[in-house]
Structure 1
């Protein structure tokens, strides 16, 4: 019986493979994902603000990812393979420019990687190695990961990201106002204000210009109705009733509860779909 139990356990062992964690961590936002919890909040927020400014001014996406260990995800790969796979899985950087940058630090493994997008030539690999050796590793060896990560990332911005962006043609860079004529925002504002005045004067009849969320046809009707004295409510309060003349759809809206719009993705949007062909620099301590 004991031998049968051992054989059964050995047979089940390979089935444990698919239960492993996901091969890549999930990003908290496009700028800083501190899964190792090595960055104090003030330093993390300051770094995030600088990375946001970098992307707004140059279009370069640089993301910083401290993790505890690669073994929490895919322990079989080297840090170079792991960083390149994660870079491409996340799609760091603009898909047309491929100039994203990943700063990966695995604190328990005592290794790190600056992974560069495929647009960077080998000269940037040399720069990245110098930054890793001179700015990341000394503080990581001294058990001061926050100082090393923040200081090293700033060097990557100053010596790799911004010089690269400065060499790009003007049309490849983000333009203030999205490249629109200076008069256009004023004209759009005036048109919007005029439409708002028109809708207010039109009043409830404006609902006929909206599509029904149920049947998709025009003809919504809006009426205001008093509430029925529920707890905490006073007389004179009213709710708005939206009804479709065609399909019978109706909805009551309490004016005291603001309607929530669509939430923006991760503080400025996700990644742009960039790729890396393996360039960058590695450090160990």
Structure 2
């Protein structure tokens, strides 16, 4: 066992270096899942640009169809933190960047915060996700949810942090060692279960758009692999064993890039230590 663990420690840097990430086309909005309406996208970009010019805070929105088109990092949280740090979002000294990540097909999202934010902002991010983003997503209206949610993140997190204040409902919370240990154990168990069975679990509880019964079957095929210079193409086949419903949806796989020490080009070289909040619908 010790030899296996030592071998893992030796090989882990190579595995980490092989991870691939989406490439950003601009520093404000990258809608690779094509879920944001054109007018809404322009309004979001204007807000994010104004935020950056007025406060220096770098916030960016990324939508992707699925994160399984990239080399797996395990959980959504690890993926968001790795992507945030690879892009280098936020000022390198203040670490006040924000990543709003929406993965439409996987039905999950995250607001990843730079390491300069306190834990009160994690709770604020969770409240925004639960009350603003997810209700619209459950109704199938990604565009409205992302626009309203981004506005809430700007007003309740980014501008509050830039003013040196705490969220209105924030405050330091207490805790004990026991629940922390139990939480980590549950987290690791959940990560492995999701990595192995995530797709089947989502299919089991997803409703057929035709008959409304749960238990659709989804199969994804990569038609053209994404490279560093071009996007790829994939298709998702959805079938229902109850009513024989069938549908095929094409989606775009973003260009990929390899992990490096790059500060993220047009971003300021900020980093995240995993703060923020996630949501699923």
Both proteins in one fold, TM over 0.5: yes
* CA gap 1:104/1:43 in 2 versus in 1, 3 angstroms: same
Return closer, same or farther for 1:36/1:94 CA change in 2, 3 Å cut-off: same
Indicate the residue corresponding to 1:36 in structure 2. 33
CA distance in 1, matches of 2:140, 2:60: 22
Which residue number corresponds to residue 69 of structure 1?
Answer: 66
Residue-by-residue CA offset, 1:25-50 (whole Å, 9 max, x unaligned): 00011100001011111110110011
Selected match of 2:273 from 270, 277, 282:
277
Equivalent position SS for 1:24? strand
> What is the rounded CA distance, in whole Å, between the counterparts of 2:85 and 2:74 in structure 1?
15
Secondary structure of the structure 1 residue equivalent to 2:54: helix
3-state DSSP class of the match of 1:126? helix
Per-residue CA deviation, residues 258-285 of structure 1 (Å, 9 max, x unaligned), is xxxxxxxxxxx71000000000000000
**How far apart are residue 22 of structure 1 and its match?**
6.6
In the TM superposition, residue 23 of structure 1 has moved relative to its aligned partner by 1.7
- Contact 1:74 1:82 (8 Å CA) reproduced: no
Return the match for 2:112 from 115, 137, 157. 115
SS at match of 1:275: coil
Show the counterpart of 2:81.
84
- What SS is found at the alignment partner of 2:30? coil
> CA–CA distance in 1 between the matches of 2:110 and 2:144?
16
The 2-side partners of 1:84 and 1:110 are apart by: 18
- Offset of residue 72 of structure 1: 1.2
Which residue, out of 126, 133, 136, partners 1:136? 133
* Runs of 4+ residues deviating >6 angstroms: none
Structure 2 gap segments, 5+ residues each: 1-14, 166-264
Equivalent residue for 1:147, pick from 144, 152, 162: 144
* 3-state secondary structure, aligned to 2:132: helix
Q: Which residue of 1 aligns with 2:211?
A: none
Which of the two has higher C-alpha Rg?
Answer: 1
Query: Does 2:94 match 1:94?
Result: no
Q: State the TM-score, normalized to the length of structure 1.
A: 0.57
Equivalent residues, number: 166
Matched, 1:51 2:31: no
**Displacement after TM superposition at 1:53 (Å):** 0.2
**RMSD of equivalent CA atoms:** 1.6
Q: Which runs of 5+ in 1 are unaligned?
A: 1-17, 169-268
User: CA 1:274–1:45 in structure 2 vs 1: closer, same or farther (change >3 Å)?
Assistant: same
Structure with bigger strand share is 2
